[in-house]
Structure 1
């Protein structure tokens, strides 16, 4: 016969809440499933009916039905898992974050896990975990430059606006210039590494001359179109642009090869 089940009756507020949780996009799949189990059971469906309709195991239905009868809506959340209790309090974590963002050590330019651990009385691993959790990297420094051009804002708007809303059937090109790289070679062949002896090369070198490389990258395919010129003038730049335009053209909304 088995033990009789406790009756599952919902109040209007509980039914409304369960329905909202089951349909809400931000709800986890697990919570939405539990809500549907309770709603089906409250509608008079047997455990076998719920299993067939939702495609789940029978013990899952009985478990969450019993949890809801016992704890109501609060019973549908996951119970705390067993394990060691937290040793780092919220106040200690906040102290690490505040000191990292608003202070510097007396004898250094930035905090390390060792210096911060000594400052707040935590272990280095604890400080490292807090930094990783909040994305803090005191050892990294990025640089930026402020333009003194009085028309800087207007120029930025023109460029960014062109990328965000290019003219119809237009091809947007981004052009940049890389600083010079010397073409050097050693005055003698490199001697390869041997057992007990590292690779060896001469300290002096031979200059390989000067040339100019114009390259165009097709971001759609990854193809690079490159041309070498002796000089670096507007004339050579126009030639490279003509060569690139001759290799590619705009057809519809995709960049395709001619023909």
Structure 2
């Protein structure tokens, strides 16, 4: 048998292209990329010692992969099957785990735990967990959904999404809502600050110093927010907030206000105000569809960044914190980007309806 150290290494065009792709692609395993570089360097000529010096690897590495390539070509560069413990879980057991998870529940419970299912199938809890993870099954997780019964659901979705994706010319579009009963909470013990290895800690109990309501109007084009704090959120308070929006919007622009179906938004006092302010037009979201209002996304940021971990010893402190948050937000405001079209949203609702109205429901 000829010495592989002396045998010339010649690549075909296809082999060279494949090896170069292995070297370039980031997804290629590090070991496979190194072997491809070794073979390409050997094809350029030179002894194993010279190739090892050029690549900065051990001479034995070059010798091994040159020989493997000459003997098996590209297949020789892949890892060989490694020895290990023989497989103990059969395909039938894997199928049983999946079928029981999807189609059955244990007696007296609403879903399987990995230990309960392991006892039933006769394998270890770790094996059940691996099977669940491989097939994307999460029996412990649940999600809520609500299909809107609004008879004008499709028309309202098209109306609101149309304002997001193709707003009218010479008009300002606002997503408006209230965040009621914001609590001024003071922890009964001082907050312990974060230190390396230990997160910030707060006491569970608290003292409440009152509540306040926040009206917010998010300009969907700029991301800026018009806010107003109020002790209540009655129809007259909503009307007064519409007055604030009207005063702050440039004269000559139409105003489109997206709001939910709260009775205060449709009260006679609001209707009378709209008659005297013809440039303002209300657009209503479908019932049970607060997710379609962009101001809810802003409320989520407010809750996460300002309120969840805030400590407020008085209602005045809470008021000052909310006003400061709105001011800082507006200083660097950026709009939320709406990407779903009305047809995409309606198609997804139809898929939900098909699933919940099928057999077994």
Instruction: Say yes or no: TM over 0.5.
Output: yes
Residue 159 of structure 2 corresponds to residue 142 of structure 1: no
C-alpha change, 1:169 and 1:65, in structure 2 (3 Å) is farther
The aligned length equals 233
Superposition map of 1:1-259 within 5 A = 5=5, 7-10=7-10, 12=12, 15-23=13-21, 25=25, 27-51=28-52, 54=55, 56-160=57-161, 163=164, 174-178=175-179, 180=181, 208=210, 211-214=212-215, 227-232=228-233, 233-238=237-242, 241=245
How many angstroms apart in 1 are the aligned matches of 2:72 and 2:182? 72
- Which residue does 1:196 correspond to in 2? none
C-alpha change, 1:44 and 1:88, in structure 2 (3 Å) is same
TM-score, normalised to structure 2, is 0.48
How many angstroms apart in 2 are the aligned matches of 1:244 and 1:107? 60
8 A Cα contact 1:21 1:27, kept in partner: no
Once the two structures are superposed, what CA deviation does each residue of 1:52-108 show, in whole Å capped at 9, x if it has no partner? 654544443333222212332221112334543433244422331232123333443
How many angstroms apart in 2 are the aligned matches of 1:100 and 1:141? 14
8 A Cα contact 2:94 2:131, kept in partner: yes
Give the structure with the larger strand fraction: 2
Shift of 1:125: 2.3
8 A Cα contact 2:216 2:225, kept in partner: yes
8 A Cα contact 1:67 1:76, kept in partner: yes
Give the structure with the larger helix fraction: 2
8 A Cα contact 1:22 1:33, kept in partner: no
Q: Tell me the SS of whatever aligns to 1:142.
A: coil
Gap regions ≥5 residues in structure 1: 193-198
Q: Tell me the SS of whatever aligns to 2:215.
A: strand
How many angstroms apart in 2 are the aligned matches of 1:57 and 1:164? 60
How many angstroms apart in 2 are the aligned matches of 1:169 and 1:47? 74
Once the two structures are superposed, what CA deviation does each residue of 1:104-163 show, in whole Å capped at 9, x if it has no partner? 334432112122112211122221232233332212221101112244234334544655
- What root-mean-square deviation, in Å, do the aligned CA atoms of Structure 1 and Structure 2 show? 4.8
8 A Cα contact 1:22 1:31, kept in partner: no
Once the two structures are superposed, what CA deviation does each residue of 1:188-244 show, in whole Å capped at 9, x if it has no partner? xx799xxxxxx9x9xxx9995x642235789xxxx9986421342323433665799
C-alpha change, 1:167 and 1:8, in structure 2 (3 Å) is farther
- Higher relative CO (Cα under 8 Å, sequence separation at least 6) belongs to 2
Gap regions ≥5 residues in structure 2: 191-202, 251-326, 336-361
Q: Tell me the SS of whatever aligns to 2:75.
A: helix
8 A Cα contact 2:178 2:216, kept in partner: no
How many angstroms apart in 2 are the aligned matches of 1:216 and 1:107? 49
